[in-house]
Structure 1
Amino acid sequence: MSTTVEPLPVGPLMAAALNTSVVVAALVAAWVLIHSRGVTWWARGRLVVALLLMAVANWIADVAGGGMATAALAGVLSMESALVLCVMAQSLLRRSMLAHEREVQELHETLAEARVAIRHERELLHEVGSTVAGITSATNLMGADQSLPLDRRQRLQHLVDLELARLERLMMCRAEAVVTTTGPVRAEAAGVDLDEIVERLVTSHRLRGLTVHWTPRGLRCAADPDDFAQVINILLENARRHGGGQVELDSLDDDDWVVVTCSDHGPGVDEAVRARIFESGVRASASPGQGLGLGIARRLVEQCGGDLVLADAVSPGATFVARLPKKEMSRVAAHGA
């Protein structure tokens, strides 16, 4: 036998009390939200408005009496409350997406800066290593061969002094780049005596076993002396590693330009990498290098308004041609960009 539980009768007075309790609870909740520090004031304000609208709509529907007008007003207030919540949720989602996009952009910028810094460090180590090798060779020769004529010893000592000074400028340039965060800005080129710089670099590479055929021409060009020295050093180092132990280095006058050619007797540049030989990190599979030098050399030549190209292969070996202006042209600050 089943029993049926009759619902407790709710009179108008009790219904009013219940609805008043709901309103009071809504007001208390609103007060708590207003004083909450875990939510932004923007979100707290909208939550309070939505909560109060829902409470008033509920009170009007149950207490203020029946009728279509009352029901319509309660419905409008409920929809307003829902609309406030929807707009708030949309705004919060949009803000979250914008914040995420900013974080992603900042990460990309940080990664780009890190890549540039790593490239600068690798390029610096590349040039420092080659410079130190030349200094070491000259120092070892002076220490091992006590029978060197005085003039020969003085020339080697002068070579060491000049390369040490260039090494110090390289390190100072790097320190300046770290301080400014934008890279060192070199002074405008005052002009370079090609013979003076090429002679000491040719001597350095001859000490390390490279046969260099070179004849002074008495030419000058508009370039930073250290940049020009680095370009010639890279070309000779590239020829020493890949060129069969011999290289012809020459310069000629071509109207407003000085043209420097460096030709070796090696196997030449692999066709697979020929078109990308000046890109950073590009090298043949059998190359002992890192693929950095030629890209650095081209950038340095371009900074003084010139260009560096790989000549068409017409004989065994590879020929690199650098054109440098005789007079100051458009010059780009050495930012490593």
Structure 2
Amino acid sequence: MTVASPEPRDLGQEAGSILAFGALMFMVSCLFVFSRPWWQPLFWAGVYNMLLWWRWRYLQRVERQARQGLVSAKRTSHWICAAWAGSAGYWLFVPDDPMMHGALTFGMLCVITSIVLECVGDALRVGVALFLVMAPTAIRFLFQSHPISITLGVGAFVAGPVWWELWRRQQRIWSEQYQLRQRAEQGAQALAESTLSKARFFAAANHDLRQPVHALGLYLELLDRQALDAEGRAALSGMQRAWTSLSSQLNQLLDLARADAGALRPALEVIPLADFLENQVAHHAVPAMAKGQRMIACGGEARAILADRLMLGRVVDNLVGNAIKFSPEGATITLLVRYGQAGTWRLQVRDNGPGIASAERELIFEEFVQGGNAERDRQAGFGLGLSIARRFVEAMGGELTLVSPAGAGSTFEVRLPRANPSPVRRAEALPVLPAGGRQRLSVAPAGRRLLLIDDDPMVVEAMHAWCRAWGLAFLSTADGRDALRLAEPVDVVVCDVRLPNGQNGIEIAHAFRDQGRPVILISGEIDASIRTRAEQLQLTLLIKPVAADTLRDCLDSLLGA
């Protein structure tokens, strides 16, 4: 595809070029001060400089007022300057002096070179300007008696076509460069649009794929509370394991796809490491105790890093989970913070497992690769966790590495930028939470009204069932604007972030909060902008799939149960 070249900006429109070229013409004119009446060369150079500056101001004014007349203005002003440059054949001409004729030829060559460089894109302007500059001097050379002068005159006319060809090549090179630049800009724009399209697709896919998984989890938890015989309990246990596997694999595949699409946008914040490590130990205490393992966290006091809280949590969850899985019973798993180079902290997860062979230390960071799992045993995982963890860390501006002496366990190290720890400890009452944390409550917020804003029938039915179990009156709607106009009073609102007809769940939730009603946001997306906006508005945000007891915890906190 051919791309038309626009009219380029002349060098004659740059103040620096005018100063440099004007000074050169003054130097050339000084060569003739002792061969001509001294005022004539200086007069010629002075007028030429004045014309250059006049042309610069004139084109600037035309460019501001009427750009459509710029080509005509360039031609006229350039031809006036070229005509005066050609008048050097009168003002600087010294009869029968080949040396001065050579100096005059040098001056005209400088003017011609400037024309070739300046006038890319306008053949008529170039042709007329070359003639106006060369013709007067070349004609006078032809009528001199000295052979050198005559040769210069003939050479000037012969050189005309050469200069024309040089200009045409310059034009072709400039046009090719312009087309390449246009293609590069179009490619960059197409890539940006593709990335934006992928980001939108994965935002929708995150929501739409997590919805049924979220509803299924709520139904399974509801079923878990029913009285079942041994056979029913065994079937339920199998379904719960399958749901856990499905949820884990879905999260990993969606995270991997978002990373490949360049859609990861971390929301960096200052994270105190002491609190973070304490939460990690508490979160993994049950599976570690089941294997008789001990967990130790140290080195986080008065230290903080700059990271995305949810991404960092997913990374360390994966590393600690692997350490528990691959370490023997009775092993010790250590979470340690150490100094790093270039203003970083090194967050290490050490285990007493079998270690990783040197040939596999980089392979394990690739998708669907696991050390010692060539048979693809799904009980050992899917081989995506470390690949996603490294991409998360790199998206936050850090590095994830592995040190693993054979038979001596493994040490995974996350390097992230240091930050100044906040003097005030971060409140943990209403955090941004992922799914999990099944803590049973002793007090139910009974007799209250809950409003659910969600357009998925499965989620609505599952939430309705749980509200009956909790003793909550239940209202639901798929339209956030209709919900704001409801006449019935409600005590708490649970709102999905992604609503139909382009409605923004965050703004709907904020409107309810402004009415003095507690609100819980639920999202199937982990986009940093959503979490940042929810935090700015001080809204509780839960990430799907959400466990029923996690939702119950938040309801009790908001309702003061």
TM-score (norm 1): 0.45
Q: Which structure carries more relative contact order (alpha carbon 8 Å, separation 6+)? A: 1
